[in-house]
Amino acid sequence: MSEADPAGTAAGNGAAAEAMVDVRGVSRTFHRGRTPVPVLRDLSLRMEKGEFLALMGPSGSGKSTLLNLIAGLDRPTGGEVIVGGSAIHRLSERKLAGWRARNVGFVFQFSNLLGALSAERNVAVPLLLTSFSARERRRRVDIALEIVGLSARGKHRPRELSGGEQQRVGIARALVNDPALLVCDEPTGDLDRTTSAEILDLLVALNRDHGKTILMVTHDPVAAERASRTLHLEDGRLAECGHDGTIEVPVHEPAGAAV
Amino acid sequence: MSSFTLISAALRRKKTRTFLTFSSVVFAFLIFGVLSMLQTAFSMGAEIANEDRLVVRHRVSLFQLLPQSYEADMEEIPGVVDAMHMTWFGGVYQDPSNFFMQSPVEPAEYLDMYPEILVPEEAKLRWIETRNGAIAGRALVERLGWEVGDRIPIQPTIWRQQGRGDDAWEFELVGVYDADVEGFDQTQFLFRYDFFDEARSFGRGQVGWFMVRIADPDRAPEIAAAIDDTFRNSAAETKSESEGAFAAGFANQVGNLGLIVTSILGAVFFTILLVAGNTMAQSVRERIGEIGLLKALGFTSSRVQRLVLMESVTLVTTAGFLGMVLAVGLERVLRPALAAYFPGLFLRPEDLLLGLGLAVVTGLVVGIFPARRAMRLETALALRRL
């Protein structure tokens, strides 16, 4: 995607064969006191550019941990995480922050907008990290709000918006720096069925029309159905799911192998 | 939109709490301003004192009299250039609340001793021509609504007139003096010593204290000792000291003002550190998720630290600035109202600058720990608080 097109239209859904995400033999162990608690063990995952992948699994299965590793919010205990060609597990804290600002858009369960700022100012927050001119920032905010269908609500404060609209503003904020990868952690978890469907429609459109690669963690099978592929994570293992919800291929990937 | 937008948003997040913290800091700096003014008022005498002037008083107390003849004796002492005398009159004009300092002086000697005082030539001549003539400071004249030519009756409390019982002394205001030194007492009422000495019912030839000008300020202790030696074992021994030491000693009669003011300010600012520090700590604690979000969006840890620190500095510095502005406003009101009691009551530019510097430092100290906490937050853990 070019700067002139923050949402991007260059790549279609699954059009490219190059991997956007390449997780190789990753493990992540936390410590509870002195007791090690392994959450992910020797896990591998490959996502193609332009893919929309849903990640499901029970609470505590490591979905968010995996998402954090791919988004550069956490570091693996072992293995490699390569996103967009960058081995992000090797980057320093500072470089990793810069990489996130340029390459990843975050959508959370709650929109987490700053209550004192208008919608358009919330969307503009990631642009504080750029050297764009005020005019370019303005243009990007306008485009991002247009994509999520909230051009007319830019001046409104979060409390003046519905839950669905707030989540749309959150998505616009994720898009404004034109990242190639969107990571969504339970993006519909706090919304009713109708609003959830609208948000999912928007994510599908971003994937299909703007070529965004999307990794979505969800508990909701209906939401997962909208993705092009669904993986199930349980006991630190990944399995491919069918759209009828059945786990088709329980697999444990050796290091370096891809799903 | 800039980083300041984020700082402003953070401060507006809990408006009531921010307002209360802001107000407490404003009042702290207002107190700082007022106490600074008071300290200046009490220490002004010492600050504007001339290094080449000594005060010679009775060894026992300021209110014991000395022979006027000492003046000529002192002028004989090597190093002494000139000497003049003053006496506490202590009269009442209309009402005891109209307090101001009155003293008989020898006009020419007084004006020579105090070049800071500005008196029009015409008034000087009138003073020399008029036996009961008096001059008064601008602040006093304005406060009491006098005009040159007015007859000023002053009721005696110490110095009655010979054969006239409790009758008031009557003076004619022949001039108004100004001063070219900030803080110089412009509330004095000065009249002629020869008129006073002839008319008083007792104590003729006795005066309150002497002002002595010396040639070399570096020799002040030596000359002061020589003066005291001259009158040792006489009926009226003297105590001589520099004008600054005399003024400081006079001010300290109400206590060690510097220590009192410093103690109060220490307590006030310690409280402010706790109040504002608690606000900032609480604010960061409540925004852990938000801080995690900023980090996820790409804000580096050091940038987050700077944001929190700037938030703290903005809060305290803005409030401190407002507090100092209010103190200046209060000075404008208090200065004319209290000119009779505190002629040196004003906020010095260096105290204003000190206040603003203190505000910045307080803001940094208040913000440093919350800022470090924000910096150290692990992004993934912080995001769980969203």
| Rounded average pLDDT over B302-310 | 92
Distances, alpha carbon B151 to alpha carbons B33, B154, B167, B170, B177, in Å: 40, 10, 14, 7, 17
- pLDDT tops 50 at residue B382: yes
Distances, alpha carbon B374 to alpha carbons A183, B160, B179, B305, in Å: 24, 76, 56, 6
Is A203 inside a domain boundary? yes
Please name the amino acid found at residue A225: E
Hey, are the CB atoms on A93 and B301 less than 8 Å from each other?
Answer: yes
**Vertex A102, ends A99 and A107: CA angle to 5°?**
100
| Rounded average pLDDT over B300-313 | 92
- pLDDT tops 80 at residue B250: no
Is A39 inside a domain boundary? no
ipTM: 0.83
pLDDT in tens, A171-230: 999 999 989 999 999 888 878 888 888 889 888 988 988 889 999 999 888 888 889 899
Q: What are the backbone angles phi and psi of residue B170, rounded to the nearest 5°?
A: -120, 120
Q: Mapping DSSP to helix (H, G, I), strand (E, B) and coil, where does residue B226 land? A: helix
Contacts of A112 in chain B (CB under 8 A): 289-290, 293, 386
Element of type H or E holding A224: helix A221-225
Q: Mapping DSSP to helix (H, G, I), strand (E, B) and coil, where does residue B5 land? A: helix
Residue A8 near residue A174, CB atoms below 8 Å: no
How many angstroms separate the CA of residue A250 from the nearest CA in chain B?
28
Q: Mapping DSSP to helix (H, G, I), strand (E, B) and coil, where does residue A175 land? A: helix
| Rounded average pLDDT over A243-250 | 52
Q: Which residues of A51-88 are buried (b: 16+ CB within 10 A; e: fewer)?
A: bbbbbbbeeebbbbbbbbbbbbbbbbbebbbbbbeeeb
Is B16 within 8 Å of chain A by CB?
no
Q: Mapping DSSP to helix (H, G, I), strand (E, B) and coil, where does residue B317 land? A: helix
Range of the domain at A172: 51-72+94-250
Kindly state the DSSP code that residue B176 receives in the 8-state scheme: E
pLDDT of residue B165: 82
Neighbour count for residue B309 (Cβ, 10 Å): 22
Hey, are the CB atoms on A112 and B293 less than 8 Å from each other?
Answer: yes
Q: Which residues of B127-146 are buried (b: 16+ CB within 10 A; e: fewer)?
A: beebebbbbbbebbbebbeb
- pLDDT tops 60 at residue A10: no
Q: Please count the structural domains in chain A.
A: 1
A228: nearest Cα among A251, A249, A206, A255: A206
A-B interface: how many C-beta pairs under 8 angstroms? 69
How many angstroms separate the CA of residue B12 from the nearest CA in chain A?
6
CATH number at residue A236: 3.40.50.300
Is A6 inside a domain boundary? no
- pLDDT tops 80 at residue B342: no
Interface mutation target, options B283, B383, B384, chain A, most CBs of A under 10 Å: B383
Is A208 inside a domain boundary? yes
- Could you give the CA distance from residue A150 to residue A161 in angstroms, rounded to a whole number? 10
pLDDT of residue B107: 93
A194: nearest Cα among A172, A213, A214, A167: A167
Residue B28 near residue B269, CB atoms below 8 Å: yes
pLDDT of residue A245: 53
Hey, are the CB atoms on B1 and A127 less than 8 Å from each other?
Answer: yes
pLDDT of residue B254: 62
Where does the pLDDT of residue B201 fall: very low under 50, low under 70, confident under 90, or very high at 90 and above?
very high
pLDDT of residue A121: 93
Hey, are the CB atoms on A102 and B298 less than 8 Å from each other?
Answer: yes
B87: nearest Cα among B62, B70, B108: B62
| Rounded average pLDDT over B190-200 | 95
- Could you give the CA distance from residue A88 to residue B266 in angstroms, rounded to a whole number? 51
Is A166 inside a domain boundary? yes
Nearest residue, CB atoms, B5 vs list A74, A121, A126: A121
Positive or negative, the Cα torsion across B376, B280, B290, A139?
A: negative
Strand order in the sheet with B209-214: B80-86, B209-214, B53-58, B238-242
- pLDDT tops 80 at residue B110: yes
Q: Mapping DSSP to helix (H, G, I), strand (E, B) and coil, where does residue A99 land? A: helix
- Could you give the CA distance from residue A168 to residue A187 in angstroms, rounded to a whole number? 10
Residues with Cβ within 8 Å of A174's Cβ and at least 6 positions away in sequence, in order, are A105, A106, A107, A182
Is A35 inside a domain boundary? no
Contacts of B380 in chain A (CB under 8 A): 68, 73-74
The share of chain A scoring above pLDDT 90, in percent, equals 37
Is A23 inside a domain boundary? no
A98: nearest Cα among B307, B382, B300, B377: B300
Contacts of B382 in chain A (CB under 8 A): none
- pLDDT tops 80 at residue B316: yes
Higher pLDDT, A133 or B181: A133
Tokens describing residue B109: 């000697």
pLDDT of residue B324: 92
Q: In terms of CA atoms, which chain B residue is nearest residue A120?
A: B1
- Could you give the CA distance from residue B324 to residue B330 in angstroms, rounded to a whole number? 10
Is A119 inside a domain boundary? yes
pLDDT of residue A8: 31
- Could you give the CA distance from residue A135 to residue A138 in angstroms, rounded to a whole number? 5
